[in-house]
Structure 1
Amino acid sequence: MLPLKYSFLAAAASVLLAGPVAAQTAPAVADGQGTPVRVQTTLSFFMSGSGAEDELPQKLDQARKIVFQLAARECDLLRSTIAKDCKLDSVNSNVRQIEGRPPQLQQPTGYNVSGTIQSTVSLKAQP
């Protein structure tokens, strides 16, 4: 009867010791740390303009420049809030000329500008 008693104790001890070992080897990414997260920012704004053909190249450049400047600052903003590391993946800009409508419809002549900024970040440790 004595050997059975010792084998039971040995089995119980192995179960008790296995618990802490399993907890130590569990992945440390349960809270999202280390796992890459994709962040997409979409923006849209209006730039007024006359709609004249000679104005178009300058307005297109100006609108795209604004989108690219915002993209350049996107990783800084993400690092100051949620990201430990950040990589800019892609930037998309779209500029569409809008013909003005009569004053009663209240749509001025100008350019609708939209953009999409995609980044990949690794999250900061959460307190």
Structure 2
Amino acid sequence: MRKSLKSITLAALLFASAPPAWSQSTHMPPNLPQRPEGYINLQSSISVGLPYNDGAPVESQIETAQRMIYSLAAKQCELVLSTIASDCKMSNLSNNLNSQRLQRDNAQITVTAQITMIVKLK
């Protein structure tokens, strides 16, 4: 019994000391594009919520919400160009999907997008 307790303790110590070594990676991230001189990063967030329909497939409802958010995201540079910028390129886009079906009358599907643009101000 005492010998197995020592083995378990030793194994636990070895396992606990390994994560710092695992976190030291030699992997280098890919070269990210450099922002040209005179440009800034501009971030925008868009959220779309649609009522959840029990009678329709959830996949098609999610796709509809995502199409709406992508359509709005595609127009962000147009909006920025018509107001504050002379040049604009979308550099990053991510989205999150949330489905809340706790209450039947209040159920909805929400998609939120985070957009990063590289912009040259006017």
The alpha-carbon deviation at position 46 of structure 1 amounts to 1.5
1:1-127 equivalence runs, <5 A: 35-51=38-54, 55-101=57-103, 108-124=106-122
* SS of residue paired to 2:75: helix
Equivalent residue letter for 2:42: V
* SS of residue paired to 2:106: coil
Tell me the C-alpha RMSD between the 2 structures.
1.8
Give unmatched runs, 5+ long, in structure 1: 1-33
Q: Measure, in 2, the Cα distance between the counterparts of 1:40 and 1:57.
A: 29
Q: Percent sequence identity over matched residues?
A: 24
Q: Measure, in 2, the Cα distance between the counterparts of 1:50 and 1:117.
A: 28
Q: How many residues align?
A: 86
The alpha-carbon deviation at position 61 of structure 1 amounts to 0.9
Q: Measure, in 2, the Cα distance between the counterparts of 1:58 and 1:76.
A: 28
Q: Measure, in 1, the Cα distance between the counterparts of 2:73 and 2:49.
A: 18
Give unmatched runs, 5+ long, in structure 2: 1-36
Q: Measure, in 2, the Cα distance between the counterparts of 1:51 and 1:91.
A: 30
The alpha-carbon deviation at position 51 of structure 1 amounts to 4.5
Q: Measure, in 2, the Cα distance between the counterparts of 1:56 and 1:50.
A: 8
Contact 1:68/1:91 (CA < 8 Å) preserved in 2?
no
Equivalent residue letter for 1:109: A
Q: TM-score of the superposition, structure 2-length normalised?
A: 0.63
Q: Measure, in 1, the Cα distance between the counterparts of 2:46 and 2:69.
A: 8
Q: TM-score of the superposition, structure 1-length normalised?
A: 0.61
* SS of residue paired to 1:65: helix
